[in-house]
Amino acid sequence: MKVVYTVNGERHEAEGVWPGASLLTVLRDNMGLPGSKNACEQGECGSCSVLMDGELVCACLVQAGQAEGRDIRTVEGLAGEGDGGVGDVQQAFLDAGAVQCGFCTPGLIVAVDHLLARDPAPTDEDLREELAGNLCRCTGYVKIIDAVHLAASRRAAGTAVTTTGSATPRP
């Protein structure tokens, strides 16, 4: 079947999609957007978290056709300008040391951006609750929570950092 989504503000279409495929599969395998990660495929880990019409969902649990015509936001849409550019939540994760193996990071970036949009200064308790659907097996979460507070305080102070990337990879 054919599906058409608006992903990060742009129209994307895919042909020959197996109807049983998930939104995640279509994003990664058909639309060239591998930022959303495929880990558990059962909605447990949150590494495939995306926004669908503004709602935080696991892309692995949305059947391809269910997302037809919907507005999808993925982690790619939260990057900074240019190739390798870094968005403010991403920068906060880097600065706080909240990235280890990195597999959970894309889902967390989407979930944190969604959280801060609704609650600009979440308490530890609130953000633990809000991020309960994003599992990280490396960090023990302490640095991730630090990163959320860092991103929140930078946004509040109007000093949120988004960098423009260059084509040259970082050393």
> What 3-state class would DSSP assign to 43?
coil
The residues in 78-137 that bind other proteins, with binding defined as CB under 8 A, are 111, 129-130, 132-135
User: What are 132's two structure tokens?
Assistant: 């309960």
Contact with other proteins (CB under 8 A) among 12, 34, 39, 43: 43
Name which of residues 137 to 166 contact other proteins (CB under 8 A): none
- Smallest distance, other proteins to C-beta of residue 132, A: 4
Q: How far is the CB of 56 from other proteins (least distance, A)?
A: 6
Considering only 10, 15, 55, 125, the residue that binds other proteins (CB under 8 A) is 55
Separation of alpha carbons 112 and 61, rounded Å: 20
DSSP assignment of 116-158 equals HHH-SS--HHHHHHHTTT---SSS-SHHHHHHHHHHHHHHHHT
- Residue among 72, 93, 74, 73 nearest 163 (CA): 93
Among 57, 108, 136, 150, binds other proteins (CB under 8 A): 57
Binding residues (CB under 8 A) for other proteins: these are 1, 18-20, 22, 41-44, 46, 49, 55-58, 60-66, 68, 111, 129-130, 132-135
